[in-house]
Amino acid sequence: MSTYTGNQEGEPINEPAGPATTAVSTAVDMSAAPSTEAAPQADAIAQALANTERPPRPSALSTSVTFGWRALLKIKHVPEQLFDVTVFPVVMTLLFTYLFGGAIAGSVDGYIAYLAPGILVQSVLMITMYTGTTLRTDIDKGVFDRFRSLPIWRPSALVGMLLGDAVRFTVASVITAVVCWFIGWRPAGGIAGVAAGVLLLLIFAFALGWVWTFLSLILRTAGSIMGVAMMVMMPLVFASNIFVDPSTMPGWLQAWVNVNPVSHLVTAVRALMDGVSPGSDLTLSLMWAVILVAVFGSLTMWKYRDPK
Amino acid sequence: MADLAIETHGLVKTYGDTRAVDGVDLAITRGGVHGFLGPNGAGKTTTIRMLATLIRADAGTGTVLGYDISSQADEVRSRVSLTGQFASVDEDLTGSENLRLIAKLYGHSGKAAVRRANELLDAFGLSDAADRQVKKYSGGMRRRIDIAASIVVTPELLFLDEPTTGLDPRSRNEVWDIIRAMVDFGTTVMLTTQYLDEADQLADRISVIDSGKVIAEGSATELKASVGAGALHVRVMHRDERENARDILVRELGVDVERSADPQGLTAAIDDRGRVTRALSALDSEGVGLAQFSLGQPTLDEVFLALTGKPVAEAAVNEEEAA
Ligand SMILES: Nc1ncnc2c1ncn2[C@@H]1O[C@H](COP(=O)(O)OP(=O)(O)O)[C@@H](O)[C@H]1O
Ligand SMILES: [Mg+2]
């Protein structure tokens, strides 16, 4: 019965909507409501049902974009979720530049030229992990049950979510780039070069997102998803050429760094931003993106049929 | 057989050691409300999720509106809607945004989606809350927006999973009115519930499910009749007349008559109502004075007890007290 007091939006039609009778509920929403409108109307429902208009089945692209729109609406209503894409990159950039700058490159100014493209990659790749926890929360809340019961191209809910995430990643990239610019980064490729690098990064991030969607379908809690994601990300991000030139590393580590897909991505992004030809690293990065989508996209959709 | 809304044979779903659904056979005709009654954990949600193609059966087959739930899942999805046990709308979005989202996903243009959303918000009495986030809705309003989202495109069959659990009595009545309106229109509704009175009020036919198995099927009246036509309770004027009265009742009714805890009370399960009148006049003519008597229909509670050997879920009982 405790829910009753807060739930008086549906006043009986013949009862005067005086503040005296609904002292508790005025705070809710009686103030503007003519009392006759607040209860469900059987005839209006029948009329709504009688409208049996069936629009033609929408395309895969259209439903994906609609889900992207949902992600943007969520950012509008829960702007806090931009916190991690803004604060995290700024902290990372400042920390690594000033912490390692002197030791590694002799000076901050010298280091930022090397570090900026890499820290951009790191910032964005690290926040892709939130895709997994967000999806888990959605699934737990039941709203994915509705999406999965719709007659639409099934991956579109996830594709749309990743498209929406691309907006967050773009925000993170812009913020990181601006911070780096203030520190003294002046990329030779100019705005166009930076934009091309960010575009490549977004493509790779979209592909990596499928790893996290898969994890969120096989693991039950946001905590365990984050834990596993960290285990995956650590060697990819830190054992790469983001922070230091691999030629200073021991041989076994160099061997890993040289096959690490993130290294290829960083090299390609660096080249694009420095205005030089990215060569085979661009091809390799895109190839890795295709492999990730093919493997983890399929695994995700296979699990999506029957998630835990 | 294509006339059946739902037909299943031996549906099974296991989770580890739990046989959540353990061989369910259903044959549900089109139109009206089919009640799926069972205590918490009986397997209602799991069955519905298999039928709505959200999860796959481990064994068994099923068709919904004539389409196979495993090989023609897409055909099923385009004809049915599901309102889950837990809110299946996005709580971060407003009511209007939720309905527009679903409308667009069905292929409506932006304009048509807005029109449809407004029409439904009006019908469900949610116009004033249209631009508020669903997480700020009351329980009853959430249920309504959830059901509204299920009929953005009119479904032929609607699954409603415990639509009134946790609602206050008035919101519950509102949901009942909505369901009746849909049935009047011709939509087939499959409704799960733990509440006997809800099944009694709304459902044309009821399947009783317990531990993953359907243990009885029929109309509410048939189910009640299956445990006898009812019970006769009498209370004699003086307690020393009880034994005499009992002998007369046993003779006239031809069934066993139990002594109740009340030293003046007697109870008998009746299968032939005709004999009750005779038994009562026999008591009268032999000079046994009655303080009171009553002839009750068995409640679905008694049906449940008789079928499963255990009382209905606590929750259901509590809710009835609250109401
Ligand atoms: N995803 C799941 N994982 C493990 N066990 C589950 C899962 N879903 C349901 N169950 C179990 O299956 C049984 C039936 O559950 P459910 O269908 O939700 O019952 P009801 O809806 O009738 O309350 C319960 O014992 C429940 O714990
Ligand atoms: Mg349930």
Per-residue HEC secondary structure of chain A comes to CCCCCCCCCCCCCCCCCCCCCCCCHHHCCCCCCCHHHCCCCHHHHHHHHHCCCCCCCCCHHHHHHHHHHHHHHHHHHCHHHHHHHHHHHHHHHHHHHHHHHHHHHCCHHHHHHHHHHHHHHHHHHHHCHHHHHHHHHHHHHCHHHHHHCCCCCCCHHHHHHHHHHHHHHHHHHHHHHHHHHHHCCCCCCHHHHHHHHHHHHHHHHHHHHHHHHHHHHHCCCHHHHHHHHHHHHHHHHHCCCCCCCHHHCCHHHHHHHHHCHHHHHHHHHHHHHHCCCCCHHHHHHHHHHHHHHHHHHHHHHHHHCCCC
In B, which residues are within 8 Å of A38 by CB distance? 125, 128
Separation between Cα atoms, residue A28 and residue A26, nearest integer Å: 5
Q: Is B162 within 8 Å of B44 (Cβ atoms)?
A: yes
Residue A6: predicted pLDDT:
36
Kindly determine whether residue A56 and residue B105, on different chains, have CB atoms separated by under 8 Å. Answer: no
Kindly determine whether residue B89 and residue A143, on different chains, have CB atoms separated by under 8 Å. Answer: yes
Reported as a single tens digit per residue, the pLDDT across B93-140 is: 999 999 999 999 999 999 999 999 999 999 999 999 999 999 999 989
Residue B310: predicted pLDDT:
62
CA A304 to chain B, closest CA, distance in angstroms equals 9
Residue A68: predicted pLDDT:
95
Asked if the interface predicted TM-score (ipTM) of this complex is over 0.85, the answer is: no
Q: Is B150 exposed, middle or buried (0-12, 13-18, 19+ CB in 10 A)?
A: buried
Kindly determine whether residue B123 and residue A143, on different chains, have CB atoms separated by under 8 Å. Answer: no
Reported as a single tens digit per residue, the pLDDT across B165-219 is: 888 999 999 899 999 988 988 899 999 998 878 888 899 999 999 889 999 899 8
Number of domains in chain A: 1
Ligand 1 center–CA A144 separation, angstroms? 18
Mean pLDDT, chain B, rounded, equals 87
Separation between Cα atoms, residue A132 and residue A73, nearest integer Å: 19
Residue A37: predicted pLDDT:
41
Residue A128 forms part of a structural domain: yes
Ligand 1 center–CA B179 separation, angstroms? 25
The whole model's pTM is what?
A: 0.80
Residue A212: predicted pLDDT:
95
Say whether residue A76 is in contact with chain B using an 8 A CB cutoff: no
Range of the domain at A141: 60-304
Residue B242: predicted pLDDT:
92
Hey, where are the domains in chain B?
Answer: 4-224, 228-297
Identity of residue B151: I
Segments of chain A scoring below 70 in pLDDT: 1-38, 102-103, 105-106, 307-308
Ligand 2 center–CA B8 separation, angstroms? 19
Reported as a single tens digit per residue, the pLDDT across B242-262 is: 999 999 999 988 888 888 888
Confidence tier at B298 by pLDDT (50, 70, 90): low
Residue A7 forms part of a structural domain: no
Counted across chains A and B, CB pairs separated by less than 8 A come out at 178
Kindly determine whether residue B88 and residue A74, on different chains, have CB atoms separated by under 8 Å. Answer: no
CA B35 to chain A, closest CA, distance in angstroms equals 21
Residue A172 forms part of a structural domain: yes
CA A195 to chain B, closest CA, distance in angstroms equals 31
Q: Is B263 exposed, middle or buried (0-12, 13-18, 19+ CB in 10 A)?
A: exposed
Residue B194: predicted pLDDT:
86
Give phi and psi for B147, each to the nearest 5: -70, -40
Kindly determine whether residue B82 and residue A305, on different chains, have CB atoms separated by under 8 Å. Answer: no
Confidence tier at B24 by pLDDT (50, 70, 90): very high
Give phi and psi for A54, each to the nearest 5: -120, 105
CATH of domain B228-297: 3.30.70.260
Confidence tier at B309 by pLDDT (50, 70, 90): low
CB-based contacts of A242, cutoff 8 Å, min separation 6: A115, A118, A119, A121, A122, A262, A266
Residue nearest atom 12 in ligand 1 by C-alpha distance: B20
Residue A296: predicted pLDDT:
96
Ligand nearest to the CA of B17: 1
Ligand 1 touching residue B41 (CB < 6 A): yes
Q: Is B86 helix (H, G, I), strand (E, B) or coil?
A: coil
Identity of residue A60: A
Residue B311: predicted pLDDT:
58
Its CATH class, for the domain covering B4-224, is alpha beta
Identity of residue B190: M
Confidence tier at B301 by pLDDT (50, 70, 90): low
